[in-house]
């Protein structure tokens, strides 16, 4: 593909603007009216806490149903995202850029002193735009941070499904494509089933909403995590039975560690007495869990996520590094994030954290790192 043609494909069109606008409008309406468990967020510095309506799963299933029905009636084409991938990418990028300029301007003007809306202005325009000014900015009562994560995760699934439809139409559907689609779909569905766990993650509780997060949620997650699918559209892979079984095992082990670790911490934060693996939890300083996965490594949840990421790429075989973009990126991100979280926890928990480090010396992978 020559560069001129590639650039041409990147030019946003009104169609891609309409697709994005429809998607966001649907999410805003569905998120506001569909039923869902209302979950209190963590207590913020000023003692306040936000509440999140976790209706992502029902919003997702309804949207899948609506798109399916619209395709049956020939109103939309299931391959529209796969066919217009690059222009959707550039449109979403432009949207992220513009929306973060607005967030910057609104944040700077805010006179709110509450933890969620208090402006954090360093004076360095680039820094403030990149990292954001406010912790939890809202628009028409919608928590934008929660909204964008949801949009990114759903966008990832819809890109995959469209690529899947394209491979069926092209007659290139392979075992590799099915495995990739299955693993990603299960991961995304699981994310929405456990959407409430998101309310206590680092992004939600500690990062301000700037270009870094908005771009990460809306562009990076959906468009780069789906690279394997795009790659499989034009590359044939013959997976042997043993490789397919090993691939499934990587997914299952990754899932058990990832979900198990995140669930143990989430449940522990709500009730520190709930048994872990059948025994009363071991706790230090009344605050840090040392049982279960949290007694094996200080961030076992990252290990699970890395195994899952690997399982999404293994269906593509070993002939090219391109489908391994996601696990490689995640490895770098999680090592960096673990260091930042370590520094945050060392400052917050002080001697309790030092004791935790002694009891659980491994950061992510026991005996290796
Ligand atoms: P964690 O869910 O690991 O949260 C870290 C926080 O948990 C710490 O700051 C501390 O917060 C608390 N904590 C740490 N150790 C303990 C302990 N032993 N007992 C009790 N509390 C503890 O971090 P993230 O939010 O970074 O990750 C959440 C999930 O999201 C992970 O599974 C990660 O893999 C995934 N993720 C995926 C990404 C992707 O691109 N696929 C990107 C980023 C994350 P406190 O002050 O509340 O105690």
| Confidence class for position 279, pLDDT limits 50, 70, 90 | confident
Q: Which atom of ligand 1 is nearest to the CA of 344?
A: 9
pLDDT of residue 5: 78
CA torsion sign for 29, 30, 31, 34 is positive
213 lines ligand 1 (CB under 6 A): no
Mean pLDDT of 103-108: 93
Between 131 and 8, whose confidence is greater?
131
Q: What backbone torsions phi and psi does residue 75 show, to the nearest 5 degrees?
A: -85, -35
Q: What is the pLDDT of residues 33-77, one digit of tens each?
A: 999 999 888 788 788 888 899 999 999 999 999 999 999 999 999
CB 103 within 8 A of CB 128: no
In this predicted structure, the answer to whether residue 120 has a pLDDT above a threshold of 90 is: no
In this predicted structure, the answer to whether residue 117 has a pLDDT above a threshold of 80 is: yes
What's the 338 CA to ligand 1 centre distance in angstroms? 8
pLDDT of residue 273: 87
In this predicted structure, the answer to whether residue 199 has a pLDDT above a threshold of 90 is: no
Mean pLDDT of 197-220: 90
Kindly report the three-state secondary structure assignment for every residue of 23-35: HHHHHHHHHHHCC
pTM over 0.85? The answer is yes
Collapsing DSSP to helix, strand or coil, 104 comes out as helix
Q: What is the pLDDT of residues 24-40, one digit of tens each?
A: 999 999 999 999 999 88
What's the 283 CA to ligand 1 centre distance in angstroms? 17
Q: Which atom of ligand 1 is nearest to the CA of 333?
A: 42
Single out the residue of 49, 31, 48, 32 nearest to residue 40, CA to CA: 49
pLDDT of residue 155: 97
Collapsing DSSP to helix, strand or coil, 39 comes out as strand
Between 120 and 79, whose confidence is greater?
79
From CA 322, how far away is CA 334, in angstroms rounded? Answer: 20
pLDDT of residue 2: 75
Q: What is the pLDDT of residues 327-355, one digit of tens each?
A: 999 999 999 999 998 998 999 999 999 99
357 lines ligand 1 (CB under 6 A): no
pLDDT of residue 60: 97
For residue 108, count other CB atoms closer than 10 A to its CB: 13
pLDDT of residue 207: 87
What's the 226 CA to ligand 1 centre distance in angstroms? 24
Single out the residue of 213, 310, 217 nearest to residue 257, CA to CA: 310
Cα–Cα distances in angstroms (integers) from residue 50 to residues 54, 68, 113, 293, 355, in the given order? 13, 34, 15, 28, 32
Single out the residue of 146, 160, 149, 142 nearest to residue 64, CA to CA: 160
From CA 234, how far away is CA 236, in angstroms rounded? Answer: 7
Q: Which atom of ligand 1 is nearest to the CA of 338?
A: 26
> Which of 282, 290, 305, 337 is the best mutation target for the ligand 1 pocket, counting ligand atoms within 8 Å of the beta carbon and taking the most?
305
265 lines ligand 1 (CB under 6 A): yes
| Confidence class for position 23, pLDDT limits 50, 70, 90 | very high
pLDDT of residue 1: 62
Mean pLDDT of 266-289: 88
pLDDT of residue 312: 97
345 lines ligand 1 (CB under 6 A): yes
| Confidence class for position 238, pLDDT limits 50, 70, 90 | confident
336 lines ligand 1 (CB under 6 A): no
Collapsing DSSP to helix, strand or coil, 51 comes out as strand
CB 198 within 8 A of CB 188: no
In this predicted structure, the answer to whether residue 87 has a pLDDT above a threshold of 90 is: yes
From CA 177, how far away is CA 266, in angstroms rounded? Answer: 33
Lowest model confidence (mean pLDDT) among 156-160, 189-193, 347-351 = 347-351
Rg (alpha carbons) of the chain, rounded to whole number:
21
From CA 315, how far away is CA 62, in angstroms rounded? Answer: 29
In this predicted structure, the answer to whether residue 368 has a pLDDT above a threshold of 90 is: no
From CA 141, how far away is CA 17, in angstroms rounded? Answer: 24
- Kindly give, in sequence order, each residue whose CB lies less than 8 Å from that of residue 200, ignoring residues fewer than 6 positions away: 41, 42, 265, 266, 269
């Amino acid at each position: 593909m020559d560069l001129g043609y590639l650039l041409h494909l990147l030019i946003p069109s009104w169609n891609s603007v309409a697709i994005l606008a429809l998607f966001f409008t649907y999410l805003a309406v569905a998120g506001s009216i569909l039923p869902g468990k209302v979950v209190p967020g963590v207590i913020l510095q000023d003692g306040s806490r936000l509440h999140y309506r976790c209706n992502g799963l029902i919003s997702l299933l309804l949207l899948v149903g609506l798109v399916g029905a619209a395709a049956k009636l020939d109103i939309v084409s299931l391959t529209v995202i796969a066919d217009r991938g690059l222009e959707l990418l550039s449109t979403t990028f432009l949207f992220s850029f513009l929306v973060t300029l607005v967030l910057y301007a609104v944040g700077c003007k805010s006179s709110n002193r509450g933890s969620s809306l208090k402006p954090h202005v360093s004076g360095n325009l680039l820094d403030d735009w990149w990292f954001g000014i406010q912790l939890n900015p809202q628009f028409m009562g919608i928590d934008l941070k929660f909204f964008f994560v949801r949009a990114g995760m759903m966008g990832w699934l819809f890109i995959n499904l469209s690529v899947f439809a394209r491979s069926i139409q092209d007659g290139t559907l392979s075992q590799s494509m099915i495995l990739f689609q299955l693993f990603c779909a299960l991961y995304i569905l699981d994310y929405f089933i456990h959407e409430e766990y998101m309310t206590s993650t680092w992004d939600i509780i500690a990062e301000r909403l700037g270009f870094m997060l908005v771009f990460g949620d809306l562009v990076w997650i959906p468009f780069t995590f789906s690279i394997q699918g795009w790659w499989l559209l034009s590359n044939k892979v013959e997976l042997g039975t043993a490789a397919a079984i090993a691939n499934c095992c990587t997914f299952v082990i990754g899932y058990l560690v990832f979900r198990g670790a995140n669930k143990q911490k989430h449940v522990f934060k709500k009730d520190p007495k709930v048994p872990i693996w059948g025994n009363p939890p071991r706790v230090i300083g009344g605050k840090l869990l040392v049982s279960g996965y949290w007694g094996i490594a200080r961030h076992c949840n990252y290990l699970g996520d890395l195994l899952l990421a690997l399982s999404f790429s293994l269906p593509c075989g070993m002939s090219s590094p391109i489908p391994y973009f996601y696990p490689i990126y995640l490895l770098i991100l999680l090592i960096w994030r673990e260091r930042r979280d370590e520094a945050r926890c060392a400052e917050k928990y002080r001697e309790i954290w030092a004791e935790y480090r002694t009891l659980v010396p491994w950061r992510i992978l026991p005996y290796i790192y």
